[in-house]
Homo-oligomer: A and B are copies of this chain.
């Protein structure tokens, strides 16, 4: 870890000199290529070790045309959703010895273009675009010299490849669980209708209910905001529309928190009287809830990982073509759901 004995970062030239061989020989020894006397190879390696030599990646990249770097452009300011995605991506990329350039656009197209230019100038091998998915976004660029994969956001260009969570499936998952617990009058309080995620989750719920011969209680989904405050308001609206409610599926954990709080205050026990399912598995929120929240986990790490793997494949020349890949969600059962209480009704 300490500075090299030379007092500067050693080059292969220093190694060669120390080992008393030519630069080419040193290179071969270090890379295990070509035919060398074992003794020579060992001498070179020893010299390298002693000097703390690490090959200059820039020089290697210049020569090979591969930099083993990718750019990660996020429009979510490294937010709650893009972080796990990034982590998953870093996982997959790190395994491939690839370093990641972080670029935050703050949702500003100008900044995005700027970052894109910078990344291309740095000759990244590929680009990952992540976001807080709302509606599909414009493609970051067609005909780019490197492959691009979208994660947790979608490009409007069908020739781009995007990886997103399966919101529809998530809605199904939550609903099946509630049905399995014997719940029949299930309400839905969720975010703004303009969010595709909100619509898809509601659709998944509706579909599962319909198959079982039910509908969303209270007259349909209550679209509102992604906030606790809306959860508090929404549940009162719901209770008014259908007082006999025995479960609520919420579009987010925050909404569920609000719902839980008011249900308590209205004297409804969770889960005995009313079961509650959230969405996001936002640890701090879900675990802090009283009782701890059963919720849908979007497997964001997996979203990032899959996106990164696709990017790696594309870099390796195995382009996967355009399209959208939806990663299945997963139900995390905690204490806010359970079988219908014998005392209920």
**Which of the candidate stretches A50-58, A169-177, A327-335 sits at the interface with the other chain?**
A50-58
Q: Report yes or no: A62 in contact with B56, Cβ–Cβ below 8 A.
A: yes
How far does the Cβ of A258 sit from chain B's closest Cβ, in whole Å? 7
Interface residues in A1-57 (C-beta closer than 8 Å to B): 1-4, 8-9, 54-57
Task: Report how far A72 CA is from B100 CA in the complex, Å.
Answer: 10
Q: Report yes or no: B290 in contact with A55, Cβ–Cβ below 8 A.
A: no
How far does the Cβ of A65 sit from chain B's closest Cβ, in whole Å? 9
Query: A160-198 interface mask toward B, CB cutoff 8 Å, 1 = contact, 0 = none?
Result: 000000000000000000000000000000000000000
Task: Report how far A8 CA is from B67 CA in the complex, Å.
Answer: 16
Interface residues in A89-136 (C-beta closer than 8 Å to B): 90, 97, 99-104, 113, 116-123
Q: Report yes or no: B1 in contact with A254, Cβ–Cβ below 8 A.
A: no
Q: Report yes or no: A1 in contact with B56, Cβ–Cβ below 8 A.
A: no
A145 close to chain B: CB less than 8 A: yes
Known A-B contacts A54-B121, A56-B123, A142-B1; A288 and B228 likewise in contact (beta carbons under 8 Å): yes
Task: Report how far A58 CA is from B246 CA in the complex, Å.
Answer: 62
Q: Report yes or no: B288 in contact with A141, Cβ–Cβ below 8 A.
A: no
By beta carbon, the residue of chain B nearest A62 is B58
Task: Report how far A87 CA is from B54 CA in the complex, Å.
Answer: 30
Task: Report how far A240 CA is from B62 CA in the complex, Å.
Answer: 70
Residues of B with C-beta under 8 A to A104: 87, 90
Task: Please name 6 pairs of A and B residues whose Cβ atoms are closer than 8 Å in the assembled complex, sorted by A.
Answer: A1-B141, A3-B144, A56-B121, A77-B87, A99-B122, A232-B290
